[in-house]
Structure 1
């Protein structure tokens, strides 16, 4: 257990330099709560900051605590907090607007340029024993929702936001490109929203098997086919072109395949982030009126996600394939970097290592 006044944290200093170190326990200010962290998932972005020291224009310039897929227990509340109390179990929404700008007023606060986001430079994340957060973005968990399910609301929210932007509805035929954690939650959400058939592609046979487990109807293991050949395989197995494609890899060839595969008049949602500039068949998309939409994280999804988990309409528990205590975080990050399993979960409370 951490000694009094110590706060073990996973900190990236620069590309390739990841450390476990103690930091002071923070004090909650107005409208903040101090949390004892319980479960924190490792995201691909955490690994990317460790390996490369940056994601696009977000550059690690000073030591930064990683972690943003998280749930924990309220220890103390700051002035003005009335909806939470010590002992409450909560899931953390990591993006908090710093000001009420035009995007917040329109309900799209995720697009605010002034947003605080856990583990995005210069803001620290919550992969530590103790963490303080804006109380308005901490959501109480029902008794039948575990800490790990609470932590998985963050990636689940990406799937919810993507499927909303795509317009998934009863009877939709959906193509999901990529069966990593985000592809898998997209499958879960699409099926819950009424998709009749979901086809998933990936390079990895084990990940496609996991996609089957969570509800995918058709899986396709791709190898070295061209993007048009992949699109043809999707159409052949589905029996038609899908109305909706959700691209979760960010790989140029996969974006191309998504455009070719999507039915005329359909929608392609770009979730995965890759190179800033990619070559795509834009004239093909334009001539066939394929709408191309992006998403940036999520907004207004935590209450819906909690309701779905509490009602057991969605089961995210199969996504967790590895668990490590916080003290073995470096090993956990290596496991994620090697692409083993699906979701690696770090257990931050030494007194409670349960899900």
Structure 2
């Protein structure tokens, strides 16, 4: 870590310019606002949205209109505290809550700011000017976004805090899962993390589903009791799960989720399907009186995730499968794209990683 009072002028960053145009650039660190802390980023996890900006120049309806610094799954160390006295002091290891609730009086539940219209997220092209992310060696971040890490919680594991919070929020949408049978459709990073959260929450039986063997191995390592191939429709239907977490993000997975749910069960949809109409087995959901619930990002669950990681009750380390220095970001994105062989792929922003 650099001296706590000497700020760098610039640092390497991962910038999406257009579909297929991902660059590692030297980005100038501007003077922080009074409520901003300067963070030296250590690790960043590559998310599906980052891949979409690289591959398609868009993530859903969020279309690139200008170069965008990617990244919102971040851990690092504060090298200058906010001038207004808020947030962690210099030298504090931190995770990041990347959301900024939208302003104004638009109607949404007061205790669910993730649903606020106009909410922005680090590394998002949902609005213009875009909201730059934190795949940068040094970044200015609002102090309110920072969460101090307890002693013993490594920055490497802390890179999973943001996606684990998404999974925690999804499981919480299902209510009390203690002793219940849970089915996870799609065992990529979010699905595997959901299996880990379900395990911690006391689910009686956890069944994970995926198209590939490697994600199923990871899901089993963090909490799944059984694994099934996505092609085995009969076995999935036979699970009769009280709770289903749909994290595949496609209509085939949603069909499996509905078919695998017990009558009167709950299906939580955390995998983001493509925009526009989607085929859904809605008649089956009606006749079985299933509860279909959406799950979008998270709120204060991040604090629960940090506490559970620190006390060891939430085990997630096997979800991380690859690690690359930021200078090899193009290779890292290529590996992250291959869901058959990778779980969570991390970028290491520390200067030592490039040596």
Matched with 2:75 is: 71
Unaligned runs of 5+ in 1: none
Please say if residues 177 and 183 of structure 1, whose CA atoms lie closer than 8 Å, have aligned partners that are also in contact. yes
RMSD (Å) for aligned C-alpha atoms: 1.9
> More deviation in 48-57 or 71-80?
71-80
2-structure distance, mates of 1:103, 1:157: 24
Partner SS state of residue 77, structure 2? strand
Q: Deviations over 1:187-234 (max 9, x none)?
A: 0001111100011111101211121111111101133x5xxxx1x313
Cα deviation for residue 20 of structure 1 reads 0.7
Partner SS state of residue 16, structure 2? strand
Structure 2 residue 57 is matched with structure 1 residue 49: no
1-structure distance, mates of 2:145, 2:107: 17
Matched with 2:16 is: 12
Matched with 2:320 is: 320
Q: Deviations over 1:152-200 (max 9, x none)?
A: 0111011100000011421111010011000000000011111000111
Please say if residues 44 and 73 of structure 2, whose CA atoms lie closer than 8 Å, have aligned partners that are also in contact. yes
Give the TM-score of the pair, scaled to structure 2.
0.92
Please say if residues 27 and 34 of structure 1, whose CA atoms lie closer than 8 Å, have aligned partners that are also in contact. no
Please say if residues 15 and 49 of structure 1, whose CA atoms lie closer than 8 Å, have aligned partners that are also in contact. yes
Q: Deviations over 1:34-87 (max 9, x none)?
A: 100001011111011100011222111000001110011111123323341110
Cα deviation for residue 6 of structure 1 reads 2.1
Partner SS state of residue 241, structure 2? coil
Give every structure 1 segment of 4 or more consecutive aligned residues whose post-TM-superposition deviation is greater than 6 Å.
none
Alignment of structure 1 residues 24-103 onto 2, 5 Å: 24-99=28-103, 101=105
Cα deviation for residue 352 of structure 1 reads 6.8
Matched with 2:337 is: 337
Matched with 2:267 is: 268
Structure 2 residue 116 is matched with structure 1 residue 112: yes
Cα deviation for residue 261 of structure 1 reads 1.7
Partner SS state of residue 344, structure 1? strand
2-structure distance, mates of 1:316, 1:205: 18
2-structure distance, mates of 1:204, 1:148: 25
Please say if residues 32 and 81 of structure 1, whose CA atoms lie closer than 8 Å, have aligned partners that are also in contact. no
Matched with 1:256 is: 255
Q: Deviations over 1:69-124 (max 9, x none)?
A: 00111111233233411101100011122536456871211111222211111111
Give the TM-score of the pair, scaled to structure 1.
0.92
2-structure distance, mates of 1:352, 1:275: 36
Cα deviation for residue 235 of structure 1 reads 4.5
Matched with 1:285 is: 285
Please say if residues 103 and 111 of structure 1, whose CA atoms lie closer than 8 Å, have aligned partners that are also in contact. no
Unaligned runs of 5+ in 2: none
Q: Mark the CA change 1:279 to 1:104 in structure 2 (over 3 Å): closer, same or farther.
A: closer
Matched with 2:235 is: 233
Q: Deviations over 1:262-289 (max 9, x none)?
A: 1121111111112222111212211221
